[in-house]
Amino acid sequence: MQDTNNINWGIIGLGNIAHQFCRDLLLVDDAVIYAVASRSQEKANTFGEQYGVTNCYDSYDAILKDDHVDIIYIATPHNSHAELSVKAMTHGKHVLCEKPIALNKAEANMMIETSKETGQFFMEAFWTRFNPSVVEALLKIKNGDLGAIKYINADFAFYVDIPEGSRMTKTELGGGSLLDMGVYPLFLAYVVLGMPEKIMAAANFFESGADQQTSMILHYKGAQAVLHSSFMSPSNMVATISGTEGRINLHSVWHETQGYSMIRNNHKVDYHLPTKGKGFTYEIEACHKCIRNNQIESDVWSHQDSLNLMSITDAVRKETGLKFPQENKIK
């Protein structure tokens, strides 16, 4: 870390989510957008201008050599998360890597091993785990306010007019609704119920082999989660967690929710917890706290959590037959 109290961020891959993330970085007092990197100098300069950044690099390797950068935010397509995270950590950078952490569990393992070997902080950017409503709802569930959890219903679906050449349909980039959106409902089932005993899933596919939509049942001893992701049609985007003594609805759009309702004994109470910015601020603050405490992982969204979620995603893919060309076989 540099000798100021600020933490210097370097951004890799200047697309849609990098813009959203940087708008929230500006809201965190001790965060500085110190440098940005694109495959194009022109794009880096334009992005830099927008956020008041003067260190604008025309390659991902160049930003890793900047000694003033403390932590790299990786916002590139899924297929490059593992390689770039490992590279960044071996260059002495902490890493916040966009979800999904990787294409598969083998890659995720390699990234986590690199964090342990280098001593660099590493976290998957699972911002929903840090959303104030989700945090509060999970506490209530843990306290037993809903009784025994029996059922979760969650989806992430909207109609996307996918532009020609988009990463979303390219299997070599990890395209498809499952890794883009399906990881959110899987995340919710995992944080509430843990690892399932059995996974059932089926998907419809684009010609490219990427999944258009995937439906999943996670079966637990005494509980079930019914989950769905899709690029093809919209859903209400409300998630329900239901127990023997009540239920919680995470308000739409649930993975970035501004509130939730708890319904018990036919009585509904609404909770409104507006996020600071879009809501990336909380994972940013969590990174800062871990870095200052010399932690290599968060105890809120740990390395093991990312590994577990990735192994659930691998199991769903095994069921549906979704394959990425760079994998010889799904582990």
Ligand X SMILES: NC(=O)c1ccc[n+]([C@@H]2O[C@H](COP(=O)([O-])OP(=O)(O)OC[C@H]3O[C@@H](n4cnc5c(N)ncnc54)[C@H](OP(=O)(O)O)[C@@H]3O)[C@@H](O)[C@H]2O)c1
Q: Which residues bind ligand X (CB under 6 A)?
A: 13-17, 38-40, 43, 75-78, 80, 98-99, 125, 127, 167, 173, 180
CA angle 328, 215, 140 (to 5 degrees): 110
| Residue 278 vs 289, nearer CB to ligand X | 278
| Residue 110 vs 200, nearer CB to ligand X | 110
Q: Are 179 and 313 in contact (CB under 8 A)?
A: yes
E-strand ranges in 170-221 read 198-205, 211-220
Write down the H helix ranges in 69-104. 81-90
**Angle, helix 183-193 to helix 132-142, in steps of 10 degrees:** 30
Q: How far is the CB of 4 from ligand X (least distance, A)?
A: 27
| Residue 76 vs 224, nearer CB to ligand X | 76
| Residue 73 vs 220, nearer CB to ligand X | 73
Alpha carbons 34 and 51: distance in angstroms, whole number: 10
Query: Within a 10 A sphere around the Cβ of 24, how many other Cβ atoms?
Result: 20
Place of tokens 């890493």: 95
| Residue 129 vs 288, nearer CB to ligand X | 129
Binning the chain into helix, strand and coil, the percentages to the nearest 5 are 35, 25, 35
Q: How far is the CB of 47 from ligand X (least distance, A)?
A: 7
Q: How far is the CB of 169 from ligand X (least distance, A)?
A: 12
The phi, psi pair for 160, rounded to 5°, reads -115, 125
Query: Within a 10 A sphere around the Cβ of 115, how many other Cβ atoms?
Result: 20
> Could you tell me which residues come within 8 angstroms of residue 31 by beta carbon, excluding any fewer than 6 positions away?
6, 7, 9, 25, 284, 288
| Residue 259 vs 279, nearer CB to ligand X | 279
Q: How far is the CB of 264 from ligand X (least distance, A)?
A: 31
Closest-approach residue to ligand X (CB): 15
Q: How far is the CB of 184 from ligand X (least distance, A)?
A: 9
Q: How far is the CB of 40 from ligand X (least distance, A)?
A: 6
Q: How far is the CB of 241 from ligand X (least distance, A)?
A: 21
Q: How far is the CB of 273 from ligand X (least distance, A)?
A: 18
| Residue 73 vs 121, nearer CB to ligand X | 73
Q: Is 161 exposed, middle or buried (0-12, 13-18, 19+ CB in 10 A)?
A: exposed
| Residue 141 vs 178, nearer CB to ligand X | 178
